[in-house]
Structure 1
């Protein structure tokens, strides 16, 4: 699953639009006016020069009775999962936000492209939870799984291989790849099945080698895989 790129924009806020949430991170920085929010039942007022990080699933509503102009970052970058809700480096973030807003208005693409990364860097430091966690070598794990596609693999097989609990591995898989452990395995099964079929391997033999119980089930899954 390919995640959409981070997007920076400048938006004007007025009347409330109703309570909602996002499946991505949203960073708000007030350039002018005051933006009033209610996030998970708690009131927050963002005066000019203040910012707030909203995480995926945070229910929120907002309004600016006198109008407000904000720099907005919409991103799936998991770096933000480990950053504070309010900026630690407020002065640097404020100066950067003003620069990025001007760059957007003047269509300076380089600043806009680098903006999401720079904003994360000026926002604060990653928590120890992030810094101390065990890295996953996804390429190595993919090779390990690819050698065992004919076997009935389950999520705990993969989590044991990378020395994590199953729950930790499931969370990391969703966070870093965008899908579940078994979707990860399925992608590898179907990619290998496609290679085998392209090389002239029969459907029955390909199904056996990649762990499908029947050629028809594999063929139907391949059809959906090709069109996705």
Structure 2
């Protein structure tokens, strides 16, 4: 006899259990690393300002409150029980939009290992991903079913039993990957791991850019390394990232320069050179266009905001 389909009450109960598990560890505002290196927990009691950051390959879940992420001109808004699956390093602008002391924003981020995803996908008898130009974006939004949320809850609850973490955490992480591949996020993950697919070739180019963004880069050379014509490569690159290869490269460079100035207290000219800019005026102009203010003013503003917080 088949079990009845999950009800809204089931969804609510599972989400409440996950919220309780997250709040038990993330009792104060901030970003909380855990004994499971791939898992971090997050809490905010007030809405936050938009922040430029890099989302890496992983699964982000909102447990309470609401959040917004902008990828290029595309906006993703998500609340309790919804998730973002990110399958490539993407420069986004993200912030918490709904949070209070009584009802804080609660979330978690689980980093995924592409090699583990490939291995699990190989072991599973999955139908081949569609070749239709459906949605190849490396960021997808969706609600998680109660079964997958239950597995995530068990992973977070496992943190209360430190001696068992080394043995059980890898098993639960593999189960999460299996359920992702078998669920609504499956086609996106499959395209990533299908050898020779455009999504995989673009993902390889993204990984190369992430490691080599300070070097001179030509879009035609990237296309050649992906075994595509320049026009085809640009088309697939935009389908995955929401931006052109040069726009992506520019955001990587400017975000890294911002972190260098903020964390290492170096001047704008030096930061620009370190991330690959030859022209200080071009660096300052493009920096102001992305962050809304020239480098010195932007860094001063960020430090003042941090001091107030």
**Structure 2 length as normaliser, TM-score?**
0.36
**Structure 1 length as normaliser, TM-score?**
0.46
Higher helix share: 2
